[in-house]
Structure 1
């Protein structure tokens, strides 16, 4: 696990380091940066699996770079006293928001979300940020028809027929998307339930979902029962 901490208060940074090492034990590569500039430089030069980001760094607005962070392949956990920004942060696709002051159990709870496949129902996620030509573009979750895995990336298929490539994997996006609104139907597909029209049983014991636009997507055998229950 390669973790980057961007935190300008040395005392809090030390607490984060100690607790993070305690949780992940030896399976850890940990870097601490005390400014956004240093943190962004590290991200450009080295792979990251998880970012712990403060929203107020020596007067700099961490929120200004949040959209760019959530567009990346790694997850972001906000650690901040600005609790009024929590809903906005979740809407933009952070994994969790840990309010300051925090204790070990709350931080561990945030780390535990890395191992949870599905997000909770009613998640406030509203956007998925994609990086295109050096520009960050915010895609409304409501506009997504389905998502297709594309190796370590994901293809967002939108209701207007356009496609956008997201740096996060299908597994990572599944952890952010609100359960009940989106469902994993196959190892390579996540579907917005409102776009699903009917289940199809094909010859040879194969299954598919037909979308409202007529497209058909495969349904994995191990996922058929769950999909059927949600579509009843």
Structure 2
């Protein structure tokens, strides 16, 4: 696992590194960058799994990194004193916002969100970002009908019937999406607002009929839970 820490104050960077090593396996590789430019270069040169990002980098705005790489597959945890930017950060789909000053317990909570599988409720997220060539397009959460797993990528199926490819896996997106979304199958996450009814098919198979008449599979292990929620 590769973790990148972008922090301009060396003392704080070393403290974050120590706490990170205390939590993760000793085999974790930690990369350090002390400026906006070095952070951008490091992300371009390495496939990282987690970014720990300060928002004030010697007067430069760390949001430039967030905006440039929000569509990438890695998760981001913000560590910053600029708590007024927390809502904006969550809207961009960050996993957590750790306010400075912080202690090891608070950072551990953020790491637990990263390592714990399944949904980690984030009601403030407003959109997901997808790469379109060299540009980044922001997809509104409310425009997503359902999400389909496609290997290490995902397909965002939108209300206008377009499909956008996202770099994050289904498991990663499940951590970010609000409670209006539910994992109904190993390969599908659906927006509750789009669900019409559950269907029991011959052979003990289950499906969910959407309001646009599309039919999605429902995992056997998920059926009882989903049926209860739809009552």
The two structures have a TM-score, normalised by structure 1, of 0.97
State the partner residue of 1:84. 84
Distance in structure 2 (CA, Å) of the matches to 1:144 and 1:167: 16
**Are residue 67 (structure 1) and residue 80 (structure 2) matched?**
no
Tell me the alpha carbon deviations over residues 164-194 of structure 1, each in whole angstroms, 9 at most, x when there is no partner.
Answer: 1110000000000012x00000000000000
Instruction: Give 1:39 shift.
Output: 1.3
Gap runs ≥5 in structure 1 = none
Question: Is the CA contact (8 Å cut-off) linking 1:69 and 1:76 kept in structure 2?
Answer: no
Partner of 2:166: 166
- Paired residue total: 230
Pair 1:119 & 2:90 matched: no
| Structure-2 residue corresponding to 1:39 | 39
Secondary structure of 1:93 counterpart: coil
Q: CA deviation at 1:136?
A: 0.8
> C-alpha distance in 1, partners of 2:64/2:43?
16
SS of 1:48's partner is coil
Q: How does 1:43-62 map to 2 (within 5 A)?
A: 43-62=43-62
Establish whether residue 193 from structure 1 lines up as the match of residue 183 from structure 2.
no
C-alpha contact 1:8 1:34 (8 A) present in aligned 2: yes
CA distance in 1, matches of 2:70, 2:97: 13
Residue 79 of structure 1: CA displacement?
0.4
Q: Hey, which bits of structure 1, 4+ residues long, moved more than 6 A?
A: none
Cα contact 1:80–1:98 (8 A) shared by 2: yes
Q: CA deviation at 1:25?
A: 3.3
Q: 1: CA distance between counterparts of 2:35 and 2:228?
A: 49
Q: Note the aligned Cα RMSD (angstroms).
A: 1.0
Give the structure 2 partner of residue 176 of structure 1: 176
Rounded Cα–Cα distance in structure 2 between residues aligned with 1:177 and 1:13: 29
Q: Which SS does the other structure have where 1:175 is aligned?
A: helix
Distance 2:55 2:34 in 1: 12
Contact 2:148 2:187 in 1 (8 A): yes
**Kept after mapping to 2: 8 A contact 1:200/1:210:** yes
1:209 — aligned with what?
208
The offset of 1:44, in angstroms, is 1.2
